[in-house]
Structure 1
């Protein structure tokens, strides 16, 4: 119950399969000589980029200042030193005044 087309197709595929031998299925020989493949190009590019990054890091570290500019610390305030001028005398405080005591007078007496 196969059609003539199926029989012809099966015969063609079988003939084609008989042409393939184990020598056709073995691995290909590795390439000979030195070639610039993508692996070697990537390796060279990564080395060049690494060297450029190292040069940039050295330039940044040597050319930039040590850090943000901070003002110098301010010393605490202290009394000014006197130079050769005599001390100014300060007035002595007056003694407290004694309370005046008056005797009470009776009302109506002269």
Structure 2
């Protein structure tokens, strides 16, 4: 990953963590229903427009990038929205729900 822009390195680290967590849970990535990434900043229709603490993250096409390896919806939202969804039980019929926060 060395030599990649910081935003791309962050995305690759996210991807690696998701694959590792899936493997540890004995759930293939292909079985995931959806992946949501909460980020600080301004999000519009899933596109990260502004991420003050991670400037290189803004404008990175994370949804398009994830569709290359993930056969599930990849949703970008604000951190507060994703936390609310996780804590309110956004997936009441799911056996497993993972919430991870960076920073």
Q: TM-score, normalised by structure 2?
A: 0.22
Specify the structure having the higher radius of gyration (Cα): 1
Query: Which structure dedicates a bigger proportion of its chain to strand?
Result: 2
Q: TM-score, normalised by structure 1?
A: 0.21
Higher RCO by CA contacts (8 Å cutoff, separation 6 or greater): 2
